[in-house]
């Protein structure tokens, strides 16, 4: 179950560089180290990093994810809920925007077809 950064990297699909970077900026807590000073991670770390990746892919900046992770670590449920609630609102707005951009792009494309 416990793994070093190499396996953790493969399972999370983030490079070791990126994982250390996330630790450096405080997004991830300082990982425990084994006797040779190598970072060790477990399933809980993997669940967290995967959720972090999901938040990141959905457009949340690392600074905000950092605040989320901190609130999560401190069991501050109300802040976690607030951050996710706001995130949901933004995602819905993005959804509306994208629909609009799809429409506009389609129109532009059909105008182009006509002018041929």
Partner DNA sequence: TAACAACTTAGAGCATACTCTAAGTCAAGC
Partner DNA sequence: GCTTGACTTAGAGTATGCTCTAAGTTGTTA
- Interface contacts to DNA, rule CB under 7 A: 4-7, 9, 15-18, 20-21, 31, 33-39, 56, 61-63
Q: In the bound complex, what is the minimum distance in angstroms from residue 115's beta carbon to a copy of itself?
A: 7
Beta bridge partners of 3: 41
Contact between 25 and 66 (Cβ < 8 Å): yes
Pattern 70-99, a copy of itself, x by CB under 8 A: -------x--xx--xx-xx--xx-xx-xxx
Query: 3-state DSSP call for residue 116?
Result: coil
Of 7, 21, 5, nearest in space to 62 by CA? 21
Q: In the bound complex, what is the minimum distance in angstroms from residue 110's beta carbon to DNA?
A: 26
């Amino acid at each position: 179950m416990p793994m070093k950064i190499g396996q953790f990297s493969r399972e999370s699909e983030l490079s070791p560089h990126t994982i250390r970077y996330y630790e450096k900026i405080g997004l991830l807590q300082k990982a425990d180290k084994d006797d040779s000073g190598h970072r060790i991670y477990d399933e809980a770390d993997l669940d967290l990093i995967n959720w972090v990746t999901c938040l990141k892919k959905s457009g949340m900046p690392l600074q905000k994810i950092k605040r989320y992770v901190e609130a999560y670590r401190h069991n501050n449920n109300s802040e976690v809920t607030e951050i996710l609630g706001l995130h949901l609102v933004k995602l819905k707005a993005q959804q509306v925007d994208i629909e609009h951009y799809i429409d506009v792009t389609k129109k532009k494309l059909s105008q182009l077809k006509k002018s041929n």
